[in-house]
A and B are shown apart, each in its own frame.
Chain A
Amino acid sequence: MIKLHNLHKSYPIGKDSLHVLKGLDLHIREGEFVSIMGSSGSGKSTLLNIVGLLDTHDSGDYFLNGQRIENLNEKKAAILRNKFLGFVFQSFNLINYKNALENVALPLYYKGIGRKERQVTALQYLEKVGLKERAYHLPSELSGGEKQRVAIARALVTNPKVVLADEPTGALDSTTSHSVMELLKEINREGMTVFVITHEEDIAEETDRIVRLRDGVIISDKRVIKKAIV
């Protein structure tokens, strides 16, 4: 689903440039639940943004769903994002003057789907994250955990190939964090490829595979040994 080969990325800082990703190789197959760990500044977000087509890489290869990503213009990138990718952010990034339902329906609007169908589909996904009763609440009327569920519903509503989450639990307490992870797991069980960044070891433990980054290189890539689930 996601295939990276010798991926490099630098940020220009004044006259110098900061080499952030130094030749990454990573292959994430369809249906995997992968987490990336690493200290602050190791390049996790940079990697996720490139994978999410929000940013571009300097050199190396990136294949998304078998399609080589290079020289994308903004329009094509927008279409691919809409079609293949769902985003979940640490700070939720809901639009504050739109209620939960409208927020969830927004990607469908850009997909060109009619208003009625958008409403129905968005409501289905809100139900899936357990927030059907909160459909007409504004983000300011929702708790952090609820906001993140709305954001997850929004990421799923276009039925993408991959859900990308940059520290989805970073702003939540541990109980809420685990319920959000439960939700992501459930989505993964239904076949969705999920790719999360996290700082917390116990959150990473809930995924199937942990990739560790340090200074722009992958230092380890391991499957999680699941404790026996009864």
Chain B
Amino acid sequence: MKFLFDIDTWQEIYSSIRKNKIRTAITIIGVMWGIFLLVVLLGAAKGVENNFNKLFGSFATNSVFIWAQSTSKPFKGFQEGRKLTLKMSDLKSIRSEIKGLDFVVPRHQTQAVATNNFKSGTFGIYGDYPELNVVQKKDLVYGRFINENDILENKKVCVIEEEIYKQLFDKDEYPIGQYIKINNINYKLVGMYKEGSLRTGGPQGSIHIPFTTFQQVYNRGNTIGWLMITGKPEFDISQIEADVKLLLKNLHKVNPEDNRAFGSFNLGERIAQVTGFLTGMQFLTWFVGIATLIAGVFAIGNILLITVKERTKEIGIRRALGAKPWEIKRQIILESVFLTSVAGALGIIGGGLVLMLIDATMGKGHDASLTNPTVDIPVILIAFATLVFLGTLIGLIPAQRAVSIKPIEALREE
């Protein structure tokens, strides 16, 4: 190990590199590019994943939305094209007959103009139960969400999204206790929340009022707009989706084969798709990065082979002067390891800088496409260690070649 700290060792690496400046630079770029790609792509993939988790983090991911449409098949004397509506009684049946349910949250939805003094805008109006705040956690800035009492007493209260606050109120105005007018009815504001990146209310923003109030104000009787159903983690949400739809078909006298009678959106399935895609992306990243790395390391091995060939005579002289084969070999291996390490370090630094740049440009604000693109330190260390290992391994080839010819033949070389 002493030779690692010997100036001569490094001086020789330096002079060997200096003699082949351009070629060395080009080969270093190979390895650098490989690890750079690895760092940037892994970081970006992580950023996309983080963003995705942030988007759905406040969401019960094991969930499905179900709504009623029109029948597409005649059944038991009913014509096809019959319009269907979900009823409050369906809720009870679902809760009692379907296994593995966590929450069944009915909702209503419409659009209306809301005004506060002279400010106004068109927003999505939702009739909601307190449970919504469980399956889609609201990040409340002020006040509270709709509670049981609001439901029981059909209270004229509302909870708004921050976006709406910005449109209807002056800056720094305290919104709680103020009144908003929707369809000529005054609602007392009881809560305001910050929306996540995923705007569930659509682009125009959402105002939540008690479900029962919604039914009353908009004459919805005992109907339900749509259902949000979440399953217990150990239950398959797709199975729940199928079971609920079958039950609903039964309750509404719909042909069990009628696939258009009830619509649904399975969030769990979608998330599984995206997660699968992300995993695939990471796998691809590793593949591309490692393939490039190996190609780069081979390039370094190749340049060393050429260098060794060019230095045959010099190596012959050294051996005539008493250099033992191992002393020649370790020098070349060290050179290989040195080149791969420098290239690796530069690639990692470059990749890190690019990730910082990506974070600064694409990772900020509302509609950020990436969140916190990073690569774990252990991953970097493993990649680096692999690189050094490959560098050593590939260095063995030129090193062996350097001592494979007899000193006298090396000396004869011109």
Which residues on the A side are within 8 Å of B19 (C-beta)?
97
Q: How far is the CB of B353 from chain A (nearest CB, A)?
A: 35
Q: How far is the CA of A81 from the CA of B403 in the complex (A)?
A: 16
Known: A97-B15, A97-B19, A110-B318. A79 touches B324 (CB 8 A): yes
B314 touches A78 (CB 8 A): no
- Picked from B313, B321, B325, B403, the residue with its CB within 8 Å of the CB of A106 is B321
Residues on B with C-beta less than 8 A from A15 are none
Q: Which residues of A contact B322 (CB under 8 A)?
A: 78-79, 81-83, 107, 110-111, 158
Kindly list chain A residues whose C-beta atoms are within 8 Å of the C-beta of B327.
110
Chain B residues lying within 8 Å of A75, measured Cβ to Cβ, are 324-326
A89 to B321, CA, bound (A): 12
Interface stretch (choices A49-57, A120-128, A183-191, A219-227):
A49-57
A208 to B102, CA, bound (A): 109
Tell me which of B7, B313, B326, B411 contacts A54 (CB under 8 A). Answer: B411
Bound Cα distance A81, B321 (Å): 7
Q: List A residues at the B interface (Cβ < 8 Å).
A: 49, 52, 54-55, 74-75, 78-79, 81-83, 87, 89, 93, 95, 97-98, 106-107, 109-111, 115, 154, 158
Q: Is B172 an interface residue (CB 8 A)?
A: no
Complex CA distance for A49 and B403, rounded to whole angstroms:
18
A52 and B320 contact, Cβ closer than 8 Å, known pairs A74-B403, A110-B327: yes
For A95, the chain B residues whose CB sits under 8 A away are 314, 317-318
* Cβ distance A210 to chain B, nearest Cβ, rounded Å: 25
How many angstroms between the C-alpha atoms of A87 and B320 in the bound complex? Answer: 7
- How distant is the Cα of A83 from the Cα of B11 in the complex, in angstroms? 25
- Per-residue CB contact flags for chain B residues 5-29 toward chain A (1 = under 8 Å, else 0) read 0111000000100110000000000
CB-CB under 8 A from A158, the residues of chain B are 322
Chain B residue nearest to A56 (CB atoms) is B406
Residues of B contacting A: mostly: helix
Give A161 to B405 CA distance when docked, in angstroms: 27
Determine the distance from Cα of A79 to Cα of B324 in the docked complex, in whole angstroms: 7
Q: Which residues of B contact A89 (CB under 8 A)?
A: 411
Instruction: Please report the C-alpha to C-alpha distance between residue A109 and residue B320 in the assembled complex, in whole angstroms.
Output: 13
Chain B residues whose C-beta falls within 8 Å of the C-beta of A83 in the assembled complex:
322
Report the minimum CB–CB distance from B387 to chain A (whole Å): 28
- CB pair A110 B321 closer than 8 Å: yes
User: In the complex, what's the smallest C-beta–C-beta distance from B330 to chain A, in angstroms?
Assistant: 13
Is there contact, CB below 8 Å, between B407 and A54?
yes
- Give the chain A neighbours of B108 by CB distance below 8 A: none
What is the CA–CA distance of A95 and B16 in the complex, to the nearest angstrom?
Answer: 12
B391 CB to closest chain A CB (Å) equals: 24
Q: Note all chain B residues with C-beta closer than 8 A to A74.
A: 319, 324-325, 403, 407
- CB of B406 within 8 A of CB of A78, answer no
Question: Contact: B319 with A93, CB < 8 Å?
Answer: no
Q: Let me know if B323 is at the binding interface, CB within 8 A.
A: yes
B408 within 8 A of A: yes
Min CB distance A158 to B, Å, is: 7
Smallest beta-carbon distance A201→chain B, Å: 26
Are A93's CB and B317's CB within 8 A?
A: yes
* Distance between Cα atoms of A87 and B322 in the complex (Å): 11
CA distance A110 to B326 in the complex (A): 11
Chain B nearest Cβ from A125, distance in angstroms: 14
Do A54 and B406 form a contact, CB below 8 Å, given A97-B19, A115-B8?
Answer: yes
Contact of B406 among A52, A55, A93, A110 (CB under 8 A): A55
Q: A52-B320, A95-B314, A110-B318 are in contact. Are A78 and B7 (CB under 8 A)?
A: no
Q: CA separation between A154 and B322, bound complex, in Å?
A: 12
- Closest B residue to A166 by beta carbon equals B411
Q: Is the CB of B321 within 8 A of A49?
A: no
**How near does chain A come to B325, taking the closest CB pair, in angstroms?**
5
Measured between C-beta atoms, what is the minimum distance from A76 to chain B in Å?
9
* 3 residue pairs, one from A and one from B, having the closest CB atoms: A82-B322, A110-B322, A54-B408
In the docked arrangement, what's the CA distance between A97 and B11, Å?
10
Contact present for A154 and B321 (CB under 8 Å):
yes
Closest residue of chain B to A76 (Cβ to Cβ) is B324
Contacts of B18 in A (CB 8 A): 97
Closest chain B CB from A157 CB (angstroms): 9
Q: Of all chain B residues, which has the CB nearest A164? A: B320
A110 to B319, CA, bound (A): 9
Q: Which residue of A lies closest to B314 (CB)?
A: A95
